[in-house]
Amino acid sequence: MSLHTDPATLASYIITIVVSLAIHEFMHAFVGYKLGDSTAQEVGRLSLNPLRHIDPFMTVLLPVVTLITIGAPILAAKPVPFDPRNIKYDEFGAALLAAAGPLSNLVLAIVGAVIANAIEATGFLYTFFTIFVQLNVALFIFNLVPIPPLDGSRVLYAFAPEPLQRFMQQIEPYGFFIVIFLVFATGFGNIIINLNQSVLNLLP
């Protein structure tokens, strides 16, 4: 995926990011609420309002920089808070809460792919749904990276042995910087792109 400057494409990126991240974060909050924790609701995050979920760096600046530099947007929203003491099923409940966000993006990508295949391959709608699918796959893959604080780390944590859990707790304050380092200083960015393409190839 490459950066284009025509208004239709830029509008597609912006709309997709706003809608997809709002649904992603809402699903975290919704599943947490259903599992017994009202923390997200109490701070206004059980909402589809994207303004409640946007982080200026991770949601706005980071995707622009990564889209320009590696050809694929890497982005995230403000983490949805939860109290693990309130979550049913302990660590497995927390894993379900974490997985809900990326899985919502996968569902959105599948729906977008079905719509894209059903309409004429020209014009704004086709451009929009093509980008909608690509970005939601990117959100699905990136958020499943098992490095704290990304969602994949919470899923891994539920099944990890105690020494690995302790290690993940220790690196969590620096986790996002570790991910950025891996993307820009190693071949990790290419791995992400290849995984994105593999998932795109499986879609309808």
Catalytic residues: 25
Please state, in angstroms and rounded to a whole number, the distance separating the CA atoms of residues 154 and 81: 13
Q: What's the Cα-to-Cα distance from 69 to each of 21, 53, 66, 74, 189, rounded to whole Å?
A: 22, 25, 5, 11, 10
Q: What's the Cα-to-Cα distance from 165 to each of 2, 28, 85, 188, rounded to whole Å?
A: 37, 21, 17, 23
One-letter identity of residue 48: L
Q: What's the Cα-to-Cα distance from 49 to each of 23, 75, 88, rounded to whole Å?
A: 9, 18, 26
Please state, in angstroms and rounded to a whole number, the distance separating the CA atoms of residues 61 and 66: 9
Please state, in angstroms and rounded to a whole number, the distance separating the CA atoms of residues 81 and 92: 17
Sign of CA dihedral 109, 113, 115, 119: positive
